[in-house]
Amino acid sequence: MKRIAVLVSGGGTNLQALIDYKLKSGEIVLVVSSKEGAFALTRAENAGIKTLTLPRKNFPDSKSYSEELIQLFLEQDIDVIVLAGFMTVLDDSFCAVFKGRIVNVHPALIPSFCGVGYYGLKVHEEALKRGVKITGATVHIVTPECDGGPILAQKAVEVRDNDTPETLQRRVMEEAEWVILPEAVEKLCAKL
């Protein structure tokens, strides 16, 4: 069983999808939040998973924050790291230490609506503004290039005429993110 750490910043719906999936090749052993009071921590605690809050604001820069996470994950023998709604940019050194073992879920079909500045509702606002008929979600390996790593899984979701950024965001989560993230994590754990 691979030891998995999940990095979160908010409500933890992607974390809940991972918990509910019942991974066979990996086990979530630690959930770390960059924000105090994130509901994702409650979800983890309810599932009996160890939690830690490591506020980004307590560190002077991305490098020192990343170094703290590297040390923590090495001490905990973490094999796979999942960024699940994690709203903190990590230093390149983090990607180097855990190369090929960090996954992220992005709420669009990469290479569309991705890269620096494309996160949360902004992705769905841009998709609607552009008039796309299909959007979706992507799970990819994290590299120093924002949203630029190898794609592990994608799932398309239809854009409806009456969609708002909020309704589209919810449907992308329910129909794509919560489906492909656990599947991709399971495949990566089985492969390592």
pLDDT tens-digit readout, 115-160? 988 998 999 999 999 999 999 999 999 999 999 999 999 999 999 9
For the chain, what is the domain count?
Answer: 1
3-state secondary structure the chain: CEEEEEEECCCCHHHHHHHHHCCCCEEEEEEEECCCCCHHHHHHHHCCCEEEECCHHHCCCHHHHHHHHHHHHHHCCCCEEEECCCCCCCCHHHHHHCCCCEEEEECCCCCCCCCCCCCCHHHHHHHHHHCCCEEEEEEEECCCCCCCCCEEEEEEEECCCCCCHHHHHHHHHHHHHHHHHHHHHHHHHHHC
pLDDT tens-digit readout, 10-29? 999 999 999 999 999 999 99
Active-site residue, 124 included = no
- 2, 43, 101, 106: the catalytic one is 106
Residue-number span of the structural domain to which 135 is assigned = 2-191
CATH number at residue 183: 3.40.50.170
